[in-house]
Amino acid sequence: MNQYRPSTTVRWTGAALLVAAAIIHVVLIPQYPIPALQILFVLSALGLTVGAVLLAVGAPTLGWVLGGGTALLTAIGYVVRSTLGIPGVLPFAFPFFSPPTGPISVLLELIAVGLAARALRGSARPIRAAVIAEMQDRVRSRAS
């Protein structure tokens, strides 16, 4: 089986996309005076940032899973917010291009999701086993 291993450039590109999306979310927090949305923005920025850090420090499987998963959920949340609204939090839909940073963030997130899907698809072993192996390698490297 030909296993795809993303290059360092792909990992750094993914990390940069995740950080850029996280920055957009942090900047937008004050524009949404609804506490539930502010919490979601903080959680999204946190997940995106931690995913980027994991990609940067050499834990790519965990970084792609966390960063790509957060990016996917955030993009889905934006589409739901823009079409249906969020029952109990935001009962009406916002225009898709309001604010204009929204579609930019979604684009960054979807590119990151694509990179993550490509990186994880090529894994010869299940993701859970890869994540556990990365964590064990980190513990061993710190112990020595």
Across the chain, how many H-helices and E-strands are there?
5, 0
Check residue 14 and give its pLDDT: 93
Check residue 101 and give its pLDDT: 85
Query: If we measure between CA atoms, which residue out of 57, 63, 81, 62 comes closest to residue 18?
Result: 63
pLDDT band at 2 (very low <50, low <70, confident <90, very high): very low
Check residue 98 and give its pLDDT: 67
Check residue 70 and give its pLDDT: 95
Mean pLDDT rounded to a whole number for the chain = 83
How many Cα neighbours within 13 Å face the side chain of 54?
22
What percentage of the chain has pLDDT greater than the value 90? 41
| 61 pLDDT higher than 90 | no
3-class SS at 86?
strand
Contact 85, 48 (CB under 8 A): no
Rounded to an integer, the average pLDDT of 97-112 is: 86
| 31 pLDDT higher than 80 | yes
> For residue 140, what are its two tokens?
């061993």
Q: Which residues contact 106 (CB under 8 A, 6 or more apart)?
A: 75, 78, 79
Contact 38, 27 (CB under 8 A): no
Q: Is the pLDDT higher at 72 or at 30?
A: 72
43-52 pLDDT, tens digit per residue, is 999 999 999 9
CA distance 106 to 99: 12
| 129 pLDDT higher than 60 | yes
Check residue 102 and give its pLDDT: 84
